[in-house]
Amino acid sequence: MPHSLHGLNSAIDGLVARGDYHGALALRRGFVARDLDTASALLVEINLAEAEYNLGRWSEAWERLRGLDPLAAAFPIARAGLSQQRAWIAAHTGRGGEALHHWYRARLPDLPRHYHAEHFFTGAVAQIAAGAFDEADRCARAGARVAIRLSSRRNALAIRGRVFAAMGDWPEAERLFRAAAEHQHRFQGGDALLLWGDALSRLNRFSEARQAYALAIERDPQSESAELARARCQGATATQ
């Protein structure tokens, strides 16, 4: 068990990055704060919101972030993190205009350089939700250009795949999702693997779609995407 809020945040961040969303939430429940590191306390909540929405708990993730703005005002990274998480949640719950509102509030200079790619990826999904596909593609490409971490480079492919899927260009979406699946970074990513299976299904490649869905279950087993992949896999089997 970590001994400080800074240590707790680092541990939660690591668990979420490995796809152990239940473990991240359990770690927080068992922690008793011994310091007053407000910035770390805010980052804990921001990272736990990610754990929750990866489990499909979108409303819970949104509520976790409610009321944190006064505390975050003094910490640029927390301000940007709150806005980005809200934009991501709003985009995935059908609120495109609200997603863009929150994304515009997240200032790129307030984020560490190795998270700049995620700023643009959030912008891409917000633009998709708002129906602005050209802008979404520009955001996705910008994120790819500044990606530093292996996970960011993998996610750049997946986000561009989302853009082409939203435009109905299933061959190009499938190519990009396949490249993301074959990338050396294999943690998380269930949402992209689920969409890869969907693209393959659209192309009537049902055997390959089942394999993509199986990868979503294998690589991101705790995620909402894995649950959806199980149902899709059965559907692909029945269709063939």
Rounded Cα distance, 170 and 156, in Å: 17
Mean pLDDT within 110-117? 95
In a domain, 153, yes or no: no
56 with 112, same domain: the answer is: no
Q: Is the dihedral of CA 220, 140, 123, 167 positive or negative?
A: negative
105 with 55, same domain: the answer is: no
CATH code at position 100: 1.25.40
In this prediction, residue 92 carries a pLDDT of: 97
- Mean pLDDT check: name the lowest of 35-44, 45-54, 178-187, 201-210: 35-44
Do 200 and 171 meet the contact criterion of CB atoms below 8 Å apart? no
29 with 81, same domain: the answer is: no
- Amino acid at the residue 56: G
Name which of 189, 195, 113 is nearest 151 in CA terms. 189
- Mean pLDDT check: name the lowest of 24-33, 67-76, 83-92, 104-113: 24-33
Counting residues of the chain whose pLDDT is more than 70, the rounded percentage is 97
Which residue has better confidence, 213 or 232?
Answer: 213
Name which of 229, 150, 235 is nearest 196 in CA terms. 229
Separation in Å, CA 80 to CA 44, 122, 153, 217: 14, 12, 21, 31
In this prediction, residue 235 carries a pLDDT of: 67
In a domain, 224, yes or no: yes
Q: Report residue 18 as tokens.
A: 């490995």
Rounded Cα distance, 158 and 180, in Å: 6
In this prediction, residue 45 carries a pLDDT of: 95
In a domain, 154, yes or no: no
2 with 47, same domain: the answer is: yes
| Domain final residue, candidates 108, 123, 148 | 148
Residue 30 is part of which domain span? 1-70
CATH code at position 200: 1.25.40.10
191 with 133, same domain: the answer is: no
In this prediction, residue 239 carries a pLDDT of: 52
In a domain, 123, yes or no: yes
* Number of domains, the chain: 3
Separation in Å, CA 82 to CA 46, 65, 86, 204, 222: 6, 7, 6, 40, 24
In this prediction, residue 40 carries a pLDDT of: 92
55 with 2, same domain: the answer is: yes
Mean pLDDT within 145-169? 97
| Domain final residue, candidates 148, 178, 204 | 148
In a domain, 219, yes or no: yes
In this prediction, residue 110 carries a pLDDT of: 95
In this prediction, residue 33 carries a pLDDT of: 74
In a domain, 155, yes or no: no
**235 burial type by CB count under 10 A (0-12 exposed, 13-18 middle, 19+ buried):** middle
User: Is the per-residue pLDDT at 240 higher than 90?
Assistant: no
In a domain, 82, yes or no: yes
